[in-house]
Homo-oligomer: A and B are copies of this chain.
């Protein structure tokens, strides 16, 4: 089971890096920036989490996270022009969703196990881990961050992490099943958002108006 989540993790890191490069390529970026932004997107959120938890950053403990992010960025950089981007990109969004679900649940689990600010702080850390890297990428690349769009990216994470914390509180014995279920929930919600282009409904938006 550990091995399984390790490999999903690596697939998630790959997807984070690949989508980062594909998203930024149209702006015209150089090889070095592609790798840097690929790495930041892939490991940025988890880095903030580890700093807050005051544990050694995960990519220094296991360098494979960095290697995978670098190779994925490199390959995407050189293959970018040749790829029929749309299909690959869509596929990558789903793998990205897998990664988001895994990292979020892993983070909640880790913080919960450390008794870190239960019950609320683990949820916050789950969200930071899931979206932190993408936020850094967009800020550094001068793009609008997902916090200012209607995309359903972080809301599934919030829902899944909240459920997981509730289950950890009320049914601590079925920790593994809860993790699996809540991870699947995050992925399902995210996949649905990708598949049907779901966006935030109007009543959950403030009215845009001249400030």
Contact = CB atoms under 8 A, between A and B. Distances in A.
A101 to B, nearest CB: 17
A52 B63 contact: no
B140 A206 contact: no
Given A30-B205, A51-B52, 11 more contacts: A26-B208, A28-B206, A30-B150, A39-B124, A51-B51, A59-B121, A60-B116, A60-B117, A66-B121, A139-B139, A140-B147
Interface residues of A, number: 58
A27 B121 contact: no
A57 B52 contact: yes
A1 interface: no
Given A26-B206, A29-B205, A206-B77, A37 B147 contact: yes
A122 to B, nearest CB: 9
A120 B37 contact: no
A81 B207 contact: yes
Interface string A31-64: 1111011010000000100011010110111010
A204 interface: yes
Interface of A: 23-34, 36-37, 39, 47, 51-52, 54, 56-57, 59-61, 63, 66-67, 77, 80-81, 116-117, 120-121, 124, 127, 135, 139-142, 144-145, 147-148, 150, 154-155, 158, 200, 204-211
Contact of A148 (B33, B39, B154): B33
A67 B156 CA distance: 20
B54 A56 contact: yes
A97 to B, nearest CB: 17
Contacts of A142: 144-145, 148
11 contacts: A23-B211, A28-B207, A28-B208, A30-B155, A30-B204, A30-B206, A32-B155, A54-B56, A63-B120, A139-B139, A140-B145
